[in-house]
Amino acid sequence: MTHTGNVVGNANGYGVIDCTECGFIHMDPVPGSAELDRVYAEEYYRDEKPLFIERVMEDLDWWRSVYDDRLDFLESRLGDGRRSILDIGSGPGYFLKRGMERGWSALGIEPSRQASAHAMTLGVEVINGFFNKETASGIKRRFDALHISEVLEHVPEPGALLRTAAGLLSDGGVICCVVPNDFSPVQKVLTDRLGFAPYWLAPPHHINYFSFESLSALLERSGFRVIKRTSMFPIDLFLLMGDNYVGNDSLGRECHARRKRLDLLLNEPGLAGFKKDMYELMARHGIGREMVIYGVKA
């Protein structure tokens, strides 16, 4: 497949284009799968994200509330009795563990040995490997829901992955797709008005860069009908407010702690409806550091 489009960025020696053929922004050239196999099977959690599992455990109260929001929506949409889920890129397993606590039957698939080993210690069933046509054909079950979080930005062919995933969903099943929201309106203010470099560019780990529109369009072309778009807290608002956490990990953790505190307090009974509306409104304006998009199997 040829990829053509305007160059919209450069980082780590790689170019990034707004691809006409794909309809979303991605690295050019797109890296091969042999290189990626090595990175994600062995190196990613060890070198690139050495603190990741530790920090998920530290942030567990907050993650649990994030997962509860997603499971609440899936359960309300699916109705009673439909409670099986496949998590593609299940990481250390806490999303599925939360699902199991709520009565879901769960399966994860995860290329990182460290992360999948961690998930198994939680009692979560995980296939340690990449999700592709071959591994999908070995999965004989069909699922009521799919969760695919922080995956599509890393893979060379996100549309092919989504089509394969759609094949594992039962009729009327729902996908929950989470990816970073890049080249967002907030980031445009940061680069165009405040002189920030495009800090969100992370090739070769992040191959693809989505917006609400480009991810929705990709889902619609790949076997799904989009039914809901919401977002996660726009942590980059701290940059607008003058807290420059880019390249400053301790300030980044401080900003993250404040957003966790806010998210958890927004769960208070008197504010819970506001939280849901606020994040859906943000999504309508293209705001939010991560996008959460739900679709039903078309």
Minimum CB distance to Zn ion, residue 26 (Å): 6
Residue with Cβ nearer Zn ion (207 or 235) = 207
Residue with Cβ nearer Zn ion (99 or 180) = 180
**Total site size for Zn ion, rule CB under 5 A:** 4
Q: b/e for 37-75, b at 16 or more Cβ within 10 A? A: eebbbeebbeeebeebbeebeebeebbbbbbebbbebbb
Residue with Cβ nearer Zn ion (4 or 137) = 4
- CB distance 106 to 100 below 8 Å: yes
What is the sign of the dihedral through the CA atoms of 14, 18, 21 and 26? positive
Minimum CB distance to Zn ion, residue 158 (Å): 10
Minimum CB distance to Zn ion, residue 52 (Å): 29
Q: Which stretch binds Zn ion (CB under 5 A): 14-22, 114-122, 163-171, 252-260?
A: 14-22
Residue with Cβ nearer Zn ion (22 or 207) = 22
Residues 167-206 close enough to bind Zn ion by CB under 5 A: none
Minimum CB distance to Zn ion, residue 65 (Å): 36
Residue with Cβ nearer Zn ion (19 or 119) = 19
- CB distance 218 to 23 below 8 Å: yes
Q: DSSP label at 210?
A: B
One-letter amino acid at 204 equals P
Among candidates 85, 88, 83, which has minimal Cα distance to 127?
88
Is residue 207 a contact point for Zn ion (CB under 5 A)?
no
3-class SS at 15? strand
Among residues 3, 256, 258, 275, the one that binds Zn ion under rule CB under 5 A = 3
Per-residue contact flags (x/-) with Zn ion for residues 19 to 38, judged by CB under 5 A: x-xx----------------
Minimum CB distance to Zn ion, residue 30 (Å): 7
Residue with Cβ nearer Zn ion (151 or 255) = 151
Minimum CB distance to Zn ion, residue 31 (Å): 13
- CB distance 17 to 8 below 8 Å: yes
Q: What is the length of the chain? A: 298
The structure tokens listed for 28 are 């050019």
- CB distance 284 to 277 below 8 Å: no
Per-residue contact flags (x/-) with Zn ion for residues 218 to 257, judged by CB under 5 A: ----------------------------------------
Minimum CB distance to Zn ion, residue 44 (Å): 23
Residue with Cβ nearer Zn ion (94 or 209) = 209
**Nearest-10 crossing angle of helices 158-166, 212-221:** 50
- Torsion angle defined by CA atoms of residues 119, 158, 168 and 89, in that order, rounded to the nearest 10 degrees: 0
Q: Which stretch binds Zn ion (CB under 5 A): 3-11, 110-118, 139-147, 172-180?
A: 3-11
Minimum CB distance to Zn ion, residue 203 (Å): 14
Going by DSSP bridges, is the β-strand pair 224-231/290-297 parallel, antiparallel, or unpaired?
antiparallel
Residues that bind Zn ion (CB under 5 A): 3, 19, 21-22
